[in-house]
Structure 1
Amino acid sequence: MDSLTQIILGGAIGNAVLGNKLKNKAVLYGAVAGTIPDLDVAVGWFTDSLTALEIHRGISHSILFALVSSFLFGYILFRRERNKGVTYEEGYWLFFWGLFTHSLLDAFTSWGTRLLWPMDYSFAFKSIFVIDPLYTLPFLFFLIQSMRSKNDLVKRMQYNTLGLIVSTGYLCITLFLKGVVYYKFTDSLGKQNIEYTSLSVKPTAMNTILWNGIVETKDSFLIGEYSFFDQSQLRFQVFNKNHHYTEQLMNHQLLKRLVRVSEGKFTISEEDERLYFNDLRFGLLKNNGDDIQFAFSYEFYVNSHGELAVREVKKERADGIILLKKLWQRLKGM
């Protein structure tokens, strides 16, 4: 999830563990714990975008990291706050739950999280977008109300608990909504007599009303959208896999890395004699006739050392704004 949401979740966890002793300071410690896992994005400053993507949501988001690093972070908290009655165990649990819930929340998004690192398996329930105001804003409201109740411990913890209950309840609702959408897609595919090998559904940007589905067939991927306000049958846009472009690279380590990162959901496209690897998991950034760009695409090129390399295709901010406007209209069933 986005940084603000993780700070709010971490703050609420810190409040739940030590709010009775440290009051708003516990929220601060929890916010720090909720921020730590995403510091792995700093790797992007020193390496290429593909390597940074492979590292993100890896070791720093694992249960192992939460278990081990909390010994250090908890000790630091204990040393700073022991004069206020904070125990080492409380410091440990504040950081463990702050770190672990960060990773657990990320597992509900399309990106997924390698909770069991070093095992190379990503948990991704794909039921919530990385930014979702319906999750974040009510949670923020209750946390602020809790922080304002400085001298009323009972009310403070009640507000904090309500925030955790409401936010967790919303996550459960997203799983239910995903189940409904999955049925809608399978039903539509059946009625259209489309044979497929896999189906993945996920919400579009900042909502759980409009959903995106990726359908894999033998030679292509079909991408469709479903809104709970739709009145007509699902329609799909076809994208040929074009994997024959990379037959000579099937054993190349670079292509293997790209396939692993994309979870096998990719197409190859050619433009101006250049080959592009398109990660389908996050849909289209531009979809205007022949002007098509996926949210995540990588251009193959030969670097200065004569080696095959890739670079991420730049995204224009204006395209993102146009896409959000289109999604808003589509969300309403139009």
Structure 2
Amino acid sequence: MDSLTQIVLGAAIGEVVLGKKVGNKAMLYGAIAGTIPDLDVFASYFTDTVTALSIHRGFTHSIVFSILFAPIFGWIVSRYETFKNFKSWSWLFFWAFVTHPILDAHTTWGTQLFWPFDLRLAFKTIFVIDPIYTLPFLVFLILTIRQKRTSKKRNFYNKMGLLVSSSYLVLTFLLKWIAFNQFESALETQNIAYLQLDTRPSPLNTILWSANVETKDAYLLGNYSFFDSQPITFETYPKNHELLGDLVINEKVQRMIKISEGWYTITKKNESLYFNDLRFGLLSLTPKAQNFVFQFKIDVDNSGKVEFIEAPKDTRDGKKLLSELWIRLKGN
């Protein structure tokens, strides 16, 4: 999830663990702890694109990280804070660390919660930024901060924030199930034979859902809103995996295929090959659009070394997409 959401969650967890003993400092340290797992994004400044993508939401988003580093941070804080209880500070950091990846596991990218096991947990029930999850949670957190440490209202507001946000998170599973059934029914009605069906919410909401459908030679992309009155339509995108040629056995190419979970197409522009990760869709709802959210140029130098270079995004595409999503959300 986005940084603000993780800060709010971390602060609320900090309040649960140590709020009665240290007051707002519990929220402060919880908020800090809630952002620490995302420091893995700095890997992109020190390594290549493929490695950085592999690292993202890996070790720092695991239970192992929470167990190993919570006592370290707990010990550091207990050395200089007035409240010296090492165990309590360690518990605060542990729960703030571990709830961070559990929340992230609900997004499309998912997390390697069980690192070092090669398993990425991704429920794909909520977009990385969802105001319906974050804003009520933030309001209750602000109400909590305004109360005295010993106030019953303080405990009530904080628990309500956790309850409301968690209830919405549970609701997203039901919404995903309904959307999945709608896509499944549409494919059956249209006599489309497929190998896999994958669904996810569109940006900023859980009303409009997107689907990736794998067939033998292509992927079908479709959208469904709970306000739709017309049948679901699908756009076809050829896999073009054969364009990779001998590159398919390259170690970095294989890693990118694994990162994308096999949901990728290859396109060719001006003699250059591009790797398109389909899991995050497109920056447009226009039929046959090609501006994928995550598109990488496959660069091969004279020595045969392969590098993936992320294609630049036009900010105008993002603004246009928001407008298109709002219109599409209201039904077809």
TM-score range, shorter chain: over 0.9
Map 1:233-312 → 2, pairs under 5 A: 233-286=231-284, 288=286, 292-303=290-301, 306-312=304-310
Q: In structure 2, what residue type is equivalent to 1:170?
A: Y
Shift, 1:201, TM fit: 0.4
Paired residue for 1:217, among 212, 215, 218? 215
SS at match of 1:146: helix
Give CA deviations for 1:98-123 in whole Å, capped at 9, x if unaligned.
00000000000001000011112100
Q: What SS is found at the alignment partner of 1:327? A: helix
Tell whether the 8 Å contact from 2:126 to 2:172 is kept in structure 1 after alignment: yes
Over the matched positions of the two proteins, sequence identity in percent amounts to 50
User: Following TM superposition, by how much is the alpha carbon of 1:59 offset from its aligned partner in structure 2, in angstroms?
Assistant: 0.4
The Cα shift of 1:240 comes to 0.5
One-letter amino acid of the structure 1 residue matched with residue 102 of structure 2: L
- Alignment partner of 2:122 out of 111, 120, 124: 124
**Which residue number in structure 1 is paired with residue 11 of structure 2?**
11
TM-score by length of 2: 0.97
1:324 aligns with one of 314, 322, 325: 322
SS of the counterpart of 1:292?
A: coil
Structure 1 residues not aligned, in runs of 5+ = none
Residues 248 and 307 (structure 1 numbering): CA distance in 2 closer, same or farther, change over 3 Å? same
Verify the 8 A CA contact 1:276 1:300 in the aligned structure 2. Answer: yes
The superposition leaves residues 215-272 of structure 1 with CA deviations (integer Å, 9 ceiling, x where unpaired) of: 0011110000000000011100000101111132222102101101111000111112
Give me the TM-score of the superposition, normalised by structure 1.
0.96
Q: CA shift at 1:290, angstroms?
A: 6.0
Q: 2:199 aligns with which of 195, 201, 223?
A: 201
Q: Residue 50 of structure 2 corresponds to which residue in structure 1?
A: 50
Residue 26 of structure 1: aligned partner: 26
Task: Name the aligned partner's letter for residue 175 of structure 1.
Answer: F
Report 1:149-160 matches (<5 A).
149-160=147-158
Please state whether the residue corresponding to 1:309 is helix, strand or coil: strand
Q: Could you say what secondary structure the match of 2:249 adopts? A: coil
Partner in structure 1 of residue 65 of structure 2:
65
* Contact 2:284–2:324 under 8 Å retained in 1: no
Q: Deviations over 1:150-176 (max 9, x none)?
A: 254211111101100001000000011
Native 8 Å contact 1:6 1:102 kept in 2: yes
The alignment's C-alpha RMSD in Å is 1.3
Structure 2 residue aligned with 1:173: 171
Q: Deviations over 1:288-313 (max 9, x none)?
A: 46652110011112237542222111
Q: Which amino acid aligns with 1:9?
A: L
Larger mean CA deviation between 175-184 and 46-55 belongs to 46-55
1:41 corresponding residue in structure 2: 41
**1:80: how far off?**
2.7
The residue aligned with 1:112 is: 110
